[in-house]
Chains A and B, each alone.
Chain A
Amino acid sequence: MVDKVRTTDRVTGERIAKYLSEGKRFDGRGPLDFRKIIVEKGISKKAEGSVRVKLGETEVIVGVKLGIGEPYPDSPNKGNFMVTAELLPLSSPRFENGPPKFEAIELGRVVDRGLRESGFIDFEKLCIKEGEKVWTVFVDVYSINDGGNLMDAAALGAIIALKIAKLPKYDEEQNKIVFELTNKPIPITDIIPIPVSVHKVGDAFLVDPTREEEDLSKTRVTIGISNGIISSVQKSNSESLSIDEMKKVFEIANEVSKKTLKELQKYF
């Protein structure tokens, strides 16, 4: 049997690839255009920060939760950070219930790496008592509908959710979190790691694929980039890229990230 549930049949796939080789896409966008980013803030009352992000048909929910924990031995003065992604069966016939599979784990880790390595969060300010107590930031990603490019939608959602999240009140004497929000935001910096997933379909490069285009994609490179500084790179899928192609991918990522940042700043 087929190992992966395909949602795009071969015939339609050939048409998409042919059309794309002329530089056109089925929904009328150019190859380097993002779909409109729609963000709805504060959708969960119990989370410290939550957003719903829509990219065309794609929809994800991202929530930020804070807890108190012990720091890791190699970073006694830094807060902890954890990203978990769950691809719900309701979002696509390709996803099934049960422990997270490759795609969900990859999604969580790529979002995690982009945010962590860029310096978006000032982890040292999340320290309460060195070596003993620090804040732990949990970011949870849930897919509601998979219309392609869950990766970028999740990472964009995580950025805004962290930006609007407020620290809960911490009672030091009782060593307990009082679930009552303060006005203090999570210590974040001006460095915003914009995620850009560049896909290669046929010989053409494109960003923000729809489900059909993502089915056809042989290579994906996800780059976390802020003001031209690359903080994370993840290369997925089976096909290889030449050095020249990789350079082109970086150029595309840089160009697209500027446009995306402008779109995203509306919601800060």
Chain B
Amino acid sequence: MDRKVVIPGEEIATGEDYLPGEGTEKREGKIFALKFGLAEEQNNLIKVIPLSGNYQPRRGNTVIGEVENINSAGWFISIGASDSAFLSMNEVPRFVNKDAMDEVFEIGDVVCAKIWSMSKRGIDLSVKGRGLGKIKEGIIFYINPNKVPRVIGKEGSMIKLIKDETDCDINIGQNGAIHIRGENVEKELFAKKAIEFVTQKSFIEGLTEEVTKWLEENKK
């Protein structure tokens, strides 16, 4: 079966040969889409890759979010998911003074963190690890979280290309938040434009060549 665009409620396949995967539902022997996206079949398993919608958190994802609130045990981080995310003080690799939690992370600070556990109660974050922690400078902007895989590319090829061409450090959160840091603002803005170009053209084939061309044309 070829990939095709489906809308919620659309019938994708009939028969007992198929199994419903992510974003689909089986009713009366038929498989229906639950999301707007691309329907795909692999070993009789049908799934829908969403093209729009909110961020669906997964364990192990790196996310970028803003500190929303503080309590005596840690910080609440808004990562754009339906559940709230909590960063416990035990997951911060440094000494935390319980009377001055905002010395570590203040309300309004932007934090890069990893999802290490998910339960019904919510999402638990951790900043133990390389590259995680408070973001001190740079530009942060948001893209559609469903387009993050396109921006990263196959085995990181797309993002490596953009990083090399713009000399910027680029950090992508799976929730669609992107942090760029470069030598100067011009370079950062150029990187931002390049990423926005990728998200706009995310549906075309041979995107890497297209982006290489765009980067060359627009480079000063």
B-contacting residues of A (Cβ < 8 Å)? 1-2, 6, 9-12, 14-15, 18-19, 24, 26
24 sampled A-B residue pairs with Cβ under 8 A:
A1-B68, A2-B107, A2-B108, A6-B108, A9-B66, A9-B108, A9-B110, A9-B140, A10-B108, A10-B110, A11-B110, A11-B136, A11-B138, A11-B140, A11-B179, A12-B140, A12-B141, A15-B137, A15-B138, A15-B139, A15-B185, A15-B188, A18-B185, A19-B185
Judge if B135 is at the interface, Cβ distance under 8 Å: yes
Q: Are A12 and B108 in contact (CB under 8 A)?
A: no
Residues 131-174 of B contacting A (Cβ, < 8 Å): 135-141
Q: Is the CB of B69 within 8 A of A11?
A: no
**Given A1-B69, A2-B107 in contact, is the A12-B139 Cβ separation under 8 Å?**
yes
Q: For B107, what are the chain A residues with a Cβ–Cβ distance below 8 Å? A: 2
A7, closest chain B residue (CB) = B142
CB A94 to nearest CB in B, in angstroms, measures 15
Instruction: Verify B188–A11 contact, CB threshold 8 A.
Output: no
CB-CB under 8 A from B189, the residues of chain A are 26
- B40 an interface residue at 8 Å Cβ cutoff? no
Report chain A residues within 8 Å CB of B68: 1-2
Closest CB-CB distance, B19 to chain A, in whole Å? 39
Residue of B nearest to A2 (CB): B107
Among A1, A10, A14, A18, the most chain B Cβ lie within 10 Å of the Cβ of A10
Give bound CA distance, A11 to B110, whole Å.
Answer: 8
Which residues of A are found within 8 Å of B137, using beta-carbon distances?
11, 14-15
In Å, the complex CA distance between A11 and B178 comes to: 12
Question: Which chain B positions have C-beta within 8 A of A1?
Answer: 68-69
Interface of B is mostly: mixed
Among A2, A11, A19, the one with the most B-chain Cβ atoms within 10 Å of its Cβ is A11
How far apart are B68's CB and chain A's nearest CB, in angstroms? 8
Quote the shortest CB–CB distance from B176 to chain A (angstroms): 14
Q: How far is the CB of B116 from chain A (nearest CB, A)?
A: 23
Given contacts A1-B68, A9-B66, A12-B139, 9 further A-B contacts (CB under 8 A): A2-B68, A2-B107, A2-B108, A10-B108, A10-B110, A11-B110, A15-B139, A18-B185, A24-B185
Interface readout for B111-145 with A: 1 if CB under 8 Å, 0 if not?
A: 00000000000000000000000011111110000
Q: Give complex CA distance A224, B110 in Å.
A: 39
B109 at the interface (CB under 8 A from A): yes
| Pairs of residues from A and B, 8 with the lowest C-beta to C-beta distance, nearest first | A19-B185, A12-B140, A9-B110, A10-B108, A12-B139, A11-B110, A15-B139, A9-B140
Chain B neighbourhood of A11, CB < 8 A: 110, 135-140, 179
Residues in chain A near residue B69, CB distance under 8 A: 1
How many Å lie between the Cα of A12 and that of B139 in the bound state? Answer: 5
Q: Which of B68, B107, B185 has the most CB of A within 10 A?
A: B185
A18, B186: Cα distance in complex, Å: 12
Residue of B nearest to A19 (CB): B185
**A236 shortest CB reach to chain B, Å:** 22
Chain B nearest CB from A29 CB (Å) reads 13
Q: Looking across the interface, which residue of chain B has its beta carbon closest to that of A18? A: B185
Which of B109, B179, B189 has the largest count of A CB atoms less than 10 A from its CB?
B189
CB contacts (< 8 Å) of B110 on chain A: these are 9-11
Closest B residue to A22 by CB, please name it: B185
Which residues in A have their C-beta under 8 angstroms from that of B188?
15
- Whole-angstrom distance between the Cβ of B28 and the nearest chain A Cβ: 37
Q: How far is the CA of A10 from the CA of B108 in the complex (A)?
A: 7
**Residues of chain A lying within 8 A (CB to CB) of residue B139:** 11-12, 15
Cβ of B140: which chain A residues have Cβ within 8 Å of it?
A: 9, 11-12
Interface string of B50-71 (1 = CB under 8 A from A): 0000000000000000101100
Q: How far is the CA of A11 from the CA of B139 in the complex (A)?
A: 7
Write out the residue numbers on chain B whose beta carbons fall within 8 Å of the beta carbon of A9. Answer: 66, 108, 110, 140
Q: Which residue on A lies nearest to B185, using beta carbons?
A: A19
Which residue of chain A has the shortest Cβ distance to B109 in the bound complex?
A: A10
Whole-angstrom distance from the CB of A27 to the nearest CB of chain B?
A: 9
Residues of B within 8 A of A10 (CB): 108-110
Docked Cα-Cα span, A19 to B182, in Å, equals: 14
Residues of chain B lying within 8 A (CB to CB) of residue A26:
189
Could you give, for residues 190-220 of chain B, a 1 whenever the CB lies within 8 Å of some chain A CB and a 0 otherwise? 0000000000000000000000000000000
Given the complex of chains A and B, what is the CA–CA distance between A14 and B135 in angstroms? 12
A15 to B189 alpha-carbon distance, docked (Å): 11
Per the bound structure, the CA–CA distance linking A10 and B141 in Å amounts to: 12
Complex CA distance for A12 and B137, rounded to whole angstroms? 7
